[in-house]
């Protein structure tokens, strides 16, 4: 259930931290977000989220990535289940290819394939994974971080409406 900005600004820090952690799994990001309360507006909330994300280290980014289910995982819950709804119509072959690519991606980069899946079909997610698997590690980390930033922004926008 969406909150107002005023409700997020007033709630106890522990409760706000729990909600913010559903938007981004980096502990440092959550701590920094809490330190910026009160936000006062939705724009300040989302801008703060992006600014803080850009100031984090690669280790913080990878920590956030680890909070996601794999793309196409049948156990996706919460926001991830809705975000990955494009997988609902995926063929068995597409799902199998994504499972294989997820594994290959993790072996190559050391973290799961992160992509903003909202509004994208299973075939689009598969094509993106195939393309990104060819990236050099530094480029891919920056790409994954940008995708996480998009996910976080969408989740923050849904949190406060």
Catalytic one of 33, 63, 68, 97: 68
Question: Using an 8 Å Cβ cutoff, are 123 and 94 in contact?
Answer: yes
DSSP H stretches of helix in the chain? 5-10, 13-21, 27-35, 42-55, 58-65, 78-83, 92-109, 122-132, 137-159
Q: Does the annotation count 68 as an active-site position?
A: yes
Rounded CA-CA distance 115/84 in Å is 10
Catalytic residues: 68
């Amino acid at each position: 259930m969406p909150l107002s900005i005023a409700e997020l600004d007033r709630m106890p820090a522990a409760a706000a931290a729990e909600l913010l952690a559903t938007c981004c799994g980096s502990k440092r990001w959550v701590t920094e977000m809490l330190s910026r309360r009160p936000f006062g507006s939705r724009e300040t909330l989302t801008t703060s989220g992006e600014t803080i994300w850009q100031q984090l280290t690669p280790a913080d980014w990878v920590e956030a990535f680890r909070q996601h289910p794999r793309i196409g995982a049948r156990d996706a819950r919460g926001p991830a289940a809705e975000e990955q709804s494009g997988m609902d119509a995926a063929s068995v072959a597409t799902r199998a290819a994504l499972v294989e690519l997820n594994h290959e991606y993790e072996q190559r980069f050391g973290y799961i394939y992160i992509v903003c899946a909202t509004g994208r079909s299973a075939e689009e997610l598969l094509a993106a994974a195939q393309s990104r698997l060819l990236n050099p590690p530094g480029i891919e980390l920056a790409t994954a971080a940008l995708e996480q930033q998009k996910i976080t922004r969408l989740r923050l926008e849904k949190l406060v409406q």
